[in-house]
Amino acid sequence: MASESISVTTSDDQTIQLSRKHAQMSQTINSMLEDSVGADQEAIPLPNVSSEVLKKVIDWCTHHENDPAPVEKVKKLNKKREYKAKNSTISDEWDKNFVNAELRVIVDILLAANYLDVKGLFELMCKHIANELKGKTPDQIRERFGIQDDLTEEDKAAMRKAWGATKNDS
């Protein structure tokens, strides 16, 4: 019978126990478990995830452990077959509190969610960062995300032409 908990080793050499249910919310760990059936149950190495971030991931998994499995949504066009962005509203109050963290932590959780392939968490972090971007100027985005301005004047002129186009779509 499979053990009820799984050991993982984080990038900072911490060994952390997580329940099988939570582990299976990560497609990455789930695949590793399936590949190692019958083998000695050694701690699964997670070299891209720190213990601090993994604890956050576990917190999220604990809150959402009874959620229905996420359905892969196909990008749909509206009635006029125009592109419509995905809804970035975060409706769950617990999730709203969860993303109320330093941006550094949010980015780390996003990267961890991507590596661990935890779809719901990944989507939540993407929504939060998208909402962070809304209504900000390029300077404000660079400052908020610690990004260097590596665009040349020619690059900016090309974008000015694209975004400054005045012809209406016929």
Partner 1 sequence: MQQLPIDLWNNIFSFLPTLDLCAPCFTSKILRDAACRTLDSHNTDIIHWHRYRKQLPTHNMEVVKWWRIAVREPTREEVMEATRSDQLDVVELLGWDDTELSLRHRTITRTHLCAPAWCAGDILFMAVANGSKKIITAVHERKNVVEALNEGLSNPYCMYNPLFGEEEDLEMMQWLCNEHVEGLPSVQWPVRLFEKIYSVGFRLAERGHRRVIAKLMQRIKMDDVKGSNMYNGAGQGGRIDMLLWLEENNVPYDPEHIQLFYFVSSMSTFEWALSHGVLPSHYLPFNDREEGTYEDALRVGCIENQFDLPTDVLCNPEITHADVEVVRSAIDDGYITRETMLQLPLLSTRDRFEMIQWMHERELLHENICLFVYRWDNVHIMSWLVERGYAIHDGDWIHSCAAIASPDLLLWLIETYDKGDEEMYDMLVKQAPWGPFNLPSMEFLLQRKWNESEEEVKTWMDDKPEEYLDVEWMTYLWENGRSL
Which positions lie near partner 1, rule CB under 8 A? Answer: 75, 77, 79-88, 103-104, 107-108, 110-111, 114, 122, 126-127, 129-131, 133-142, 145-151, 155-156, 159-170
Least Cβ distance, residue 81 to partner 1 (angstroms): 4
Parallel, antiparallel, or unpaired for β 44-46 and 5-10? parallel
Instruction: Report the alpha-carbon distance of residue 41 to residue 25 in Å, rounded.
Output: 19
Least Cβ distance, residue 155 to partner 1 (angstroms): 7
Structure-token pair, residue 118: 């935890």
Least Cβ distance, residue 90 to partner 1 (angstroms): 10
Closer CB to partner 1, 66 or 104, in the complex: 104
* Residue 43 exposure: Cα atoms within 13 Å on the Cβ side: 14
Closer CB to partner 1, 67 or 84, in the complex: 84
Give yes or no for a contact between 20 and 6, defined as CB atoms under 8 angstroms apart.
yes
